[in-house]
A and B are shown apart, each in its own frame.
Chain A
């Protein structure tokens, strides 16, 4: 079924990755989002991560809900099948798709309205099930596409563009994800690509439910003074707990670090996530500790970013279900129908 990717002829100045693709081969349609929208930077980070990881674009299935953020899968990986589903329900569609064919890479893109408001139920349950996926929420604290209403991640006390103060307490997606058993949990900032790209690469290499909350300012409706999701606010309050280097299985490890500052996490596929600690009292293997840490800083108005929790030995839904190695969408009547002899026995048992 799979076709071997053929080497292509490219502009000689464009760098190719190991499978002969340039970064352009990972691009999609021209974005129709507002100039300066954080979401576009996340698309660029996804493109970069996939290119660097030598991923065959057609082996990715990208799914989203509805919103500006959910439009973005059209703007990257043009050779991948995409599915812009319905508002808040991407997780269930992704789960079903993943069950049908375990061989593809599942990338779910959603917004804070899509995942934390209307879709909170599906977000919660897809994570609980341990679906093998990369789930990215492009979090701007508002509904961009419907023109700036607060979403469920808007901080209490933050001010809308029209001056309305949000009185509801915010939903914290990374805290929830950790509590629900996501096995790779990170937070990034669309304004910090150097941090974001390795976070995405680590998530892609992870086998299990990987969740990344990316603070992604909405320049049209939530980038003003009084907003806690503006570029300025996040830059000022960003507290990165670690810096990540993603080391591919094939790459040689050359960089040296002072002892005690780094932690290597070897994931299922052999790749290594090398964490350079920036905060002495943070440990990305300690789920409960990480939850407490994030909440304590959040209470002080800080935005904790970095790889917050990782369990490199995670199990995914297919393991729980003990499904065949062969993707079940490839099974035919021979494998699926018990046949007429069995049916005759069944009939006999019903007399």
Chain B
């Protein structure tokens, strides 16, 4: 064994305060991109889940393939709080590059686990942090000849050591190995062996710590999946047949998952032919163009992208709005503007999507809070797009899209049929039914359409982005134009009752203040409400799930003296939408904004709201 000595061992600092926590702590792994740590870290999270204890891991990664720092932050919370907590109780510091910054993040009394093969000077440590050194490189070099193995098994070895320190049941990890390496016995054996080596070392050389995982029963039937996979499955179940996309973080894995599931579930068993078409287009303009063409021609089509793609798609979004073509767009938002922070999360495309394209336009937006809703909203978006004959956006973000999240299982009802909207059939045309492509016959603003090729003599029309009369004939007459624009507004009103309705939670009227939030802010918000409650601050909450806002959103605002609008962007974009759509006095809506690219935390929300309530300052826009 290589002789080593850490400047301060856990034993020596025993007298210092030590964080003691069971099933409620945060572990953060600091790794180097491309070192194979991701799968070991995921195993860590999953093994705790298998013990019935909820976890919420988050990848924090650079826009880079190899060599740059990445982090994996795992919050363990028996209560089931899935938002980011903030602060770190145990840092697994495997990246010398980020050592200094990683060290400062540890809470006083917390723990630092590191590779002690090379001795480090005392100045590299903190007095108030308990140090756990393990000569990982030395053990690996001694055990494995192959360079790649040395690297990969180092990760498994620290997993083994952590399982001892935290009391994670090794059998759970072994079972996960067995599932992962089914049929690859050699790989299974070598992984089990590395795990054992790590465990043995920890048992013999590492002191016990104050953080523990204890079996619980709080996971239930929940599933562990990321939002992109969930949305891709929603598209499969929702009947999308055409997907056109252009690679961009954080949305690429959605298109890739769609491809994977289509290969599995969408191949005609008899002919071996595909019931789908996926095009990796030359850019986002072409992606949306293909979706527009497919939607026009009666297929359910979607694209997935991030902010820069939305900017490029603008012209087509306006065409689809005005020519009334079903289009589904999934925008997995990242930090903007411009290339912004491509691998960080934000909710900053709200306005760009809501009013995308020139002229008077407004678009339907859906805001899923977690992977479960990503699945459901993706499927619903396809229905809504057909029903409303318009672009429908599903606005997720990197936090939901690219992190595995504990979420309610996906649901589907085999009796559920697709809503293809108002499509006039050959039989109806044959029977002489009047067809005016842009005519409001039902009073809901939604006209009938026909698919190309339906009938030999009737139902054909010329689709265009120029103004037209109700029978799709080119027209620049003022009354024709106004009729059409007013009809589009009526359709917008119709949409209010069709989109997912907001979720209200709260008191029976005694709370003076309300909170409005949406999307990935949800888990942190729920926890913040509890934190505020402990301080006797009671608030009603409303989670907006879609735009256009149903009337209850306006009523909620009017019912409260002051409403905090919690968002993950700089400018309070949803707040702007609320003010604009309801004509509300801006002073009543207080912006609570978090936009540094990290997921918002309950501590932040509770702190920001608590401070404003206590200050009892005159209401107004408060930047954070």
Give me the interface of A with B, judged by CB distance under 8 Å: 1-6, 56-59, 61, 63, 73-74, 78-86, 89, 91-101, 103-104, 121-122, 124-125, 129, 318, 321-325, 328-329, 331-333, 335-340, 342-343, 346-347, 350-351
Query: Taking the nearest CB of chain B, how far is it from the CB of A142, in angstroms?
Result: 22
Kindly list chain B residues whose C-beta atoms are within 8 Å of the C-beta of A95. 279, 286, 289-290, 293
Can you sample 19 A-B contacts with CB below 8 Å? A3-B426, A3-B430, A3-B455, A5-B456, A58-B460, A74-B474, A84-B462, A84-B463, A86-B465, A89-B315, A96-B301, A97-B452, A122-B289, A318-B277, A329-B241, A329-B451, A337-B237, A347-B410, A350-B409
Q: Are A99 and B466 in contact (CB under 8 A)?
A: no
Q: Are B412 and A83 in contact (CB under 8 A)?
A: no
Q: Are A85 and B319 in contact (CB under 8 A)?
A: yes
| CB contact between B241 and one of A124, A325, A328, A342 (< 8 Å): that residue | A328
Kindly list chain B residues whose C-beta atoms are within 8 Å of the C-beta of A342. 265
Query: Taking the nearest CB of chain A, how far is it from the CB of B322, in angstroms?
Result: 11
Interface centre among A4, A5, A346 (most CB of B within 10 A): A346
Who on chain A is nearest to B219 by CB? A351
Q: Are A100 and B294 in contact (CB under 8 A)?
A: yes
Q: Are B282 and A125 in contact (CB under 8 A)?
A: yes
Task: Tell me the complex Cα distance, A321–B241, Å.
Answer: 12
Q: Are A1 and B241 in contact (CB under 8 A)?
A: no
| CB contact between A99 and one of B242, B265, B430 (< 8 Å): that residue | B242
List B residues 443-489 near A (Cβ within 8 Å): 450-457, 460-466, 474
Task: Tell me the complex Cα distance, A82–B472, Å.
Answer: 11
Task: Tell me the complex Cα distance, A294–B221, Å.
Answer: 68
Q: Is B224 an interface residue (CB 8 A)?
A: yes
Task: Tell me the complex Cα distance, A83–B222, Å.
Answer: 46
A-B complex: 5 closest residue pairs judged by Cβ atoms: A92-B289, A96-B293, A96-B290, A100-B299, A81-B452
Q: Is B413 an interface residue (CB 8 A)?
A: yes
Q: Is B518 an interface residue (CB 8 A)?
A: no
Kindly list chain B residues whose C-beta atoms are within 8 Å of the C-beta of A5. 456
Kindly list chain A residues whose C-beta atoms are within 8 Å of the C-beta of B241. 100, 328-329, 331, 336
Kindly list chain A residues whose C-beta atoms are within 8 Å of the C-beta of B290. 92-93, 95-96, 99
17 extra interface residue pairs, beta carbon distance < 8 Å, beyond A95-B279, A99-B242:
A5-B456, A6-B456, A74-B462, A83-B293, A85-B292, A86-B315, A92-B292, A96-B301, A121-B283, A125-B286, A324-B274, A328-B299, A331-B239, A332-B418, A333-B417, A335-B275, A337-B236
Q: Are A1 and B465 in contact (CB under 8 A)?
A: no
Kindly list chain B residues whose C-beta atoms are within 8 Å of the C-beta of A318. 277
Q: Are A1 and B426 in contact (CB under 8 A)?
A: yes
Kindly list chain A residues whose C-beta atoms are within 8 Å of the C-beta of B412. 337, 339-340, 343
Who on chain A is nearest to B455 by CB? A3
Q: Are B460 and A93 in contact (CB under 8 A)?
A: no
Who on chain B is nearest to A93 by CB? B293
Q: Is B216 an interface residue (CB 8 A)?
A: no
Contact with A along B208-243 (1 / 0, CB 8 A): 000000000000011111000000010011010110
Q: Is B38 an interface residue (CB 8 A)?
A: no
Q: Are A100 and B454 in contact (CB under 8 A)?
A: no
Kindly list chain B residues whose C-beta atoms are within 8 Å of the C-beta of A122. 282, 285-286, 289
Kindly list chain B residues whose C-beta atoms are within 8 Å of the C-beta of A329. 241, 294, 297-299, 451
| CB contact between A78 and one of B288, B451, B460 (< 8 Å): that residue | B460
Q: Are B456 and A324 in contact (CB under 8 A)?
A: no
Kindly list chain A residues whose C-beta atoms are within 8 Å of the C-beta of B276. 323, 328
Kindly list chain A residues whose C-beta atoms are within 8 Å of the C-beta of B291. 96
Q: Are A2 and B464 in contact (CB under 8 A)?
A: no
Q: Are B237 and A338 in contact (CB under 8 A)?
A: yes
Q: Is B268 an interface residue (CB 8 A)?
A: yes
Task: Tell me the complex Cα distance, A263–B221, Å.
Answer: 70
Who on chain A is nearest to B288 by CB? A92
Q: Are B456 and A58 in contact (CB under 8 A)?
A: yes
> If the complex has contacts A99-B242, A101-B299, A346-B233, are A333 and B416 also in contact, measured as CB distance less than 8 A?
yes
Task: Tell me the complex Cα distance, A2–B224, Å.
Answer: 46
| CB contact between B225 and one of A84, A101, A103, A350 (< 8 Å): that residue | A350
Q: Is B564 an interface residue (CB 8 A)?
A: no
Kindly list chain B residues whose C-beta atoms are within 8 Å of the C-beta of A59. 453
Query: Taking the nearest CB of chain B, how far is it from the CB of A82, in angstroms?
Result: 4
Who on chain B is nearest to A322 by CB? B274
Q: Are B283 and A61 in contact (CB under 8 A)?
A: no
Query: Taking the nearest CB of chain A, how far is it from the CB of B214, in angstroms?
Result: 20
Task: Tell me the complex Cα distance, A10–B236, Å.
Answer: 49
| CB contact between B289 and one of A73, A89, A101, A333 (< 8 Å): that residue | A89
Kindly list chain A residues whose C-beta atoms are within 8 Å of the C-beta of B474. 74
Kindly list chain A residues whose C-beta atoms are within 8 Å of the C-beta of B282. 121-122, 124-125
Query: Taking the nearest CB of chain A, how far is it from the CB of B422, in angstroms?
Result: 16
Q: Is B517 an interface residue (CB 8 A)?
A: no
> If the complex has contacts A92-B286, A329-B241, are A81 and B271 also in contact, measured as CB distance less than 8 A?
no
Kindly list chain B residues whose C-beta atoms are within 8 Å of the C-beta of A56. 456
Task: Tell me the complex Cα distance, A325–B289, Å.
Answer: 24
Q: Are B453 and A331 in contact (CB under 8 A)?
A: no
Q: Are B274 and A321 in contact (CB under 8 A)?
A: yes
Query: Taking the nearest CB of chain B, how far is it from the CB of A257, in angstroms?
Result: 38
Q: Are B413 and A92 in contact (CB under 8 A)?
A: no
Task: Tell me the complex Cα distance, A80–B287, Å.
Answer: 25
Task: Tell me the complex Cα distance, A343–B450, Å.
Answer: 33
Kindly list chain B residues whose C-beta atoms are within 8 Å of the C-beta of A100. 241-242, 293-299, 301
Kindly list chain A residues whose C-beta atoms are within 8 Å of the C-beta of B49. 351
Kindly list chain A residues whose C-beta atoms are within 8 Å of the C-beta of B418. 332-333, 336
| CB contact between A83 and one of B233, B296, B466 (< 8 Å): that residue | B296
Task: Tell me the complex Cα distance, A125–B285, Å.
Answer: 12
Task: Tell me the complex Cα distance, A103–B298, Å.
Answer: 13
Task: Tell me the complex Cα distance, A5–B417, Å.
Answer: 32
Q: Are B316 and A86 in contact (CB under 8 A)?
A: yes
Kindly list chain B residues whose C-beta atoms are within 8 Å of the C-beta of A321. 274, 277-278
Kindly list chain A residues whose C-beta atoms are within 8 Å of the C-beta of B452. 58, 61, 80-81, 97, 101, 104
Who on chain A is nearest to B299 by CB? A100
Task: Tell me the complex Cα distance, A172–B467, Å.
Answer: 34
Task: Tell me the complex Cα distance, A61–B453, Å.
Answer: 8
Q: Are B319 and A323 in contact (CB under 8 A)?
A: no
Q: Is B244 an interface residue (CB 8 A)?
A: yes
Kindly list chain B residues whose C-beta atoms are within 8 Å of the C-beta of A91. 286, 289
Q: Is B150 an interface residue (CB 8 A)?
A: no
Task: Tell me the complex Cα distance, A300–B235, Å.
Answer: 55
Q: Is B43 an interface residue (CB 8 A)?
A: no
Who on chain B is nearest to A5 by CB? B456
Kindly list chain B residues whose C-beta atoms are within 8 Å of the C-beta of A89. 285-286, 289, 315-316
Q: Are A84 and B465 in contact (CB under 8 A)?
A: yes
Kindly list chain A residues whose C-beta atoms are within 8 Å of the C-beta of B289. 85-86, 89, 91-93, 95-96, 122
Kindly list chain B residues whose C-beta atoms are within 8 Å of the C-beta of A94. 293
Kindly list chain B residues whose C-beta atoms are within 8 Å of the C-beta of A82. 460-463
Kindly list chain A residues whose C-beta atoms are within 8 Å of the C-beta of B560. none
Q: Is B281 an interface residue (CB 8 A)?
A: yes
Task: Tell me the complex Cα distance, A125–B55, Å.
Answer: 45
Who on chain B is nearest to A66 by CB? B465
Kindly list chain A residues whose C-beta atoms are within 8 Å of the C-beta of B292. 85, 92-93, 96
Task: Tell me the complex Cα distance, A321–B272, Å.
Answer: 12
Who on chain B is nearest to A61 by CB? B452
Q: Are A83 and B277 in contact (CB under 8 A)?
A: no
Task: Tell me the complex Cα distance, A330–B464, Å.
Answer: 24
Who on chain A is nearest to B240 by CB? A336
Who on chain A is nearest to B453 by CB? A104
Kindly list chain A residues whose C-beta atoms are within 8 Å of the C-beta of B411. 343
Who on chain A is nearest to B463 by CB? A83
Who on chain A is nearest to B323 by CB? A83
Query: Taking the nearest CB of chain B, how far is it from the CB of A102, in angstroms?
Result: 10
Q: Are A343 and B463 in contact (CB under 8 A)?
A: no
Task: Tell me the complex Cα distance, A98–B463, Å.
Answer: 16
Query: Taking the nearest CB of chain A, how far is it from the CB of B119, in angstroms?
Result: 43
